[in-house]
């Protein structure tokens, strides 16, 4: 139990840094995805001279220092009134309505400041040195958090009921480039924010997205950071898989790859005549209790294979059971690395199966691997055991947009 008499609260309202009133009317042109899923920053640079990408993924002309450019931009926006601090301590509310698997869903989350030193934040993903250094230089240089850490908590609808009952002000309502409807509210009523804070007090937070930003904040000694918090068992949680495109150092060919995998997997040829068939098959391997995945080749025409485990893969024998049970880990470390001898640098990751297949069709990669989606239960088990998943094990969809609210801590 948390001793409330000696420990500060887990979450609290804060005065966010927001676009000014005029900017809110143009908010759809000013937001962008988080830095790590932006394929072409120029797309967002061209949308508006005030797009958040100029802080999130800065560029400098003539090879200048991009971090200094980001600070210059932020200072200019503050001086020019493009951004201004909220005049009220608030917990912000963010709703997203989106389609996955042929049906509409809604994900609702709150955005407060979250205490970092209480031991209630659990992670599941390893961080990478280059990305850590990049985010450290950006965050430290700006004295600001530009994009939100996305975390989940276990709830039973209590927080959402409190949000529904509390007075709140709608700030944004727009559709983004993916046709996702985004609604963003400010909840400043002291009794409402206090009730939500109290309901969250003893909850564990499971980081879904933003491990690098969290590591940087801890390294900088920040007492708190803004987070997007949502119920891990709500209908709005959608975890999509990151598929793999693989290059082989030694030419094995399709037959050689299948021969190496056949001792541990039953291999069949599913019928696929349209993209919807592939989507259905990916859903099937994700919901299957048995470990299964798909392989796609195009040596002399496209061919898709379904593999279902019939015998355990003898890999990483000293690793914890929770990690060995993780489906994406068994595919990545068991099938690809252990059975096929593939190195990490010869694997590329993409969310869209069409992109992975296209790289094989263009003979840039030897084959594609369509992996099962990771479940919320798997994320929780890995985090509870203090373990880490392989790279690109989860794609929480949709991403939390950057630019709705910033946090200036210095």
pLDDT in tens, 360-382: 999 999 999 999 999 999 999 99
For 396, the token pair is 């929480």
Can you state the angle between helices 353-361 and 275-287, rounded to 10 degrees? 120
Do β-strands 224-231 and 149-153 pair in parallel, antiparallel, or remain unpaired? parallel
Vertex 216 angle, CA 351 and 64, to 5°: 80
Mean pLDDT within 312-329: 91
Most confident of 5-9, 151-155, 305-309: 305-309
- Percent of the chain having pLDDT more than 90? 82
Nearest Cα residue to 390 out of 352, 335, 313: 335
Q: For the purposes of burial, counting CB atoms within 10 Å of the CB of 164, is it exposed (0-12), middle (13-18) or buried (19 or more)?
A: exposed
- Say what the pLDDT of residue 155 is: 84
pLDDT in tens, 233-278: 999 999 999 999 999 988 889 999 999 999 999 999 998 876 678 8
Residue 322 neighbours by CB under 8 Å, 6+ apart: 381, 382, 385, 387
Please choose, from the candidates 69, 76, 80, the residue with its C-alpha nearest in 3D space to the C-alpha of residue 22: 80
261 vs 312: CA distance, rounded Å? 11
> Are the beta carbons of 281 and 306 closer than 8 angstroms?
yes
Q: How large is the average pLDDT for residues 381-397?
A: 91
State how far the Cα of 358 lies from the Cα of 368, in Å rounded to an integer: 9
Calculate mean pLDDT across residues 151-164: 91
Closest CA to 115 of 191, 194, 204, 37: 204
Domain 242-372 top-level CATH class: alpha beta
Buried b (16+ CB within 10 A) or exposed e, 343-378: eeebbbebeebeebbbbbeeeebbbbbbbbbbbbeb
Mean pLDDT for the chain overall = 93
CB 147 within 8 A of CB 402: yes
pLDDT interval class at 2 (50, 70, 90): very low
- pLDDT tens track for 74-92: 999 999 999 999 999 999 9
Q: What tokens does 4 get?
A: 């409330």
What is the spatial distance between Cα 325 and Cα 390, in angstroms, rounded to a whole number?
A: 13
Given a cut of 60, whether residue 404 has pLDDT beyond it is: yes
The 10 Å Cβ neighbour count of residue 298 is 20
Helix (H) or strand (E) holding 12: strand 11-12
Locate the domains of the chain by residue range.
Answer: 11-238+397-408, 242-372
- β-sheet bridge partners, residue 289: none
pLDDT at 374: 94
pTM for the predicted model, two decimal places: 0.90
Contacts of 6 (CB under 8 A, 6+ apart): none
For residue 311, pLDDT over 80 is answered with yes
Tokens in use for 326? Answer: 């993780």
Peptide linkage before 271 cis (omega within 30 of 0): no
Tell me, which fold does domain 11-238+397-408 have in CATH?
3.90.1530
Beta-carbon-side half-sphere exposure of residue 234 (alpha carbons within 13 Å):
23
Higher per-residue pLDDT: 334 or 392: 334
């Amino acid at each position: 139990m948390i001793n409330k008499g000696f420990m500060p609260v887990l979450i609290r309202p804060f005065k966010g840094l927001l676009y000014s009133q005029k900017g809110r009317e143009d908010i759809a042109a000013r937001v962008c995805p988080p830095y790590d899923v932006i394929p072409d920053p120029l797309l967002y640079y061209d949308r508006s001279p005030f797009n958040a990408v100029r802080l999130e993924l800065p560029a400098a002309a003539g090879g200048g220092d991009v971090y200094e450019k980001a600070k210059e931009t932020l200072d200019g926006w503050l001086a020019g009134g493009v951004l201004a601090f909220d005049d009220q301590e608030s917990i912000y509310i963010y709703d997203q309505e989106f389609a996955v698997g042929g049906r509409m869903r809604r994900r609702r989350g709150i955005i407060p400041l979250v205490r970092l030193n209480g031991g209630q934040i659990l992670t599941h993903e390893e961080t990478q040195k280059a990305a850590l250094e990049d985010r450290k230089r950006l965050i430290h240089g700006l004295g600001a958090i530009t994009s939100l850490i996305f975390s989940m908590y276990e709830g039973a609808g209590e927080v959402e009921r409190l949000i529904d009952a509390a007075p709140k002000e709608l700030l944004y309502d727009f559709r983004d480039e993916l046709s996702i409807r985004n609604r963003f509210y400010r909840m400043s009523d002291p009794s409402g924010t206090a009730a939500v804070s109290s309901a969250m007090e003893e909850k564990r937070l499971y980081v879904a997205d933003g491990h690098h930003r969290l590591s940087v904040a801890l390294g900088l000694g920040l007492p708190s950071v803004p987070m997007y918090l949502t119920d891990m068992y709500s209908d709005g949680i959608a975890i999509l898989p990151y598929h793999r495109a693989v290059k082989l150092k030694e030419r094995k060919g399709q037959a050689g790859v299948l021969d190496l995998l056949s001792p541990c997997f039953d291999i069949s040829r599913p019928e696929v005549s349209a993209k919807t068939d592939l989507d259905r098959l990916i859903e099937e391997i994700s919901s299957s209790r048995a470990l299964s995945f798909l392989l796609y080749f195009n040596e002399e025409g496209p061919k898709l294979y379904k593999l279902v485990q019939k015998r355990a893969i003898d890999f990483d024998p000293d690793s914890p059971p929770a990690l060995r049970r993780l489906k994406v880990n068994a595919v990545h470390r068991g099938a690809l690395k252990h059975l096929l001898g593939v190195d990490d640098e010869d694997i590329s990751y993409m969310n869209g199966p069409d992109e992975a297949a296209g790289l094989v069709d263009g003979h840039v990669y030897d084959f594609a691997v369509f992996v099962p989606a990771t479940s919320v239960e798997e994320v929780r088990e890995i985090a509870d055991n203090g373990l880490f998943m392989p790279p690109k094990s989860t794609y929480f969809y949709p991403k939390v947009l950057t630019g709705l609210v910033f946090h200036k801590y210095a």
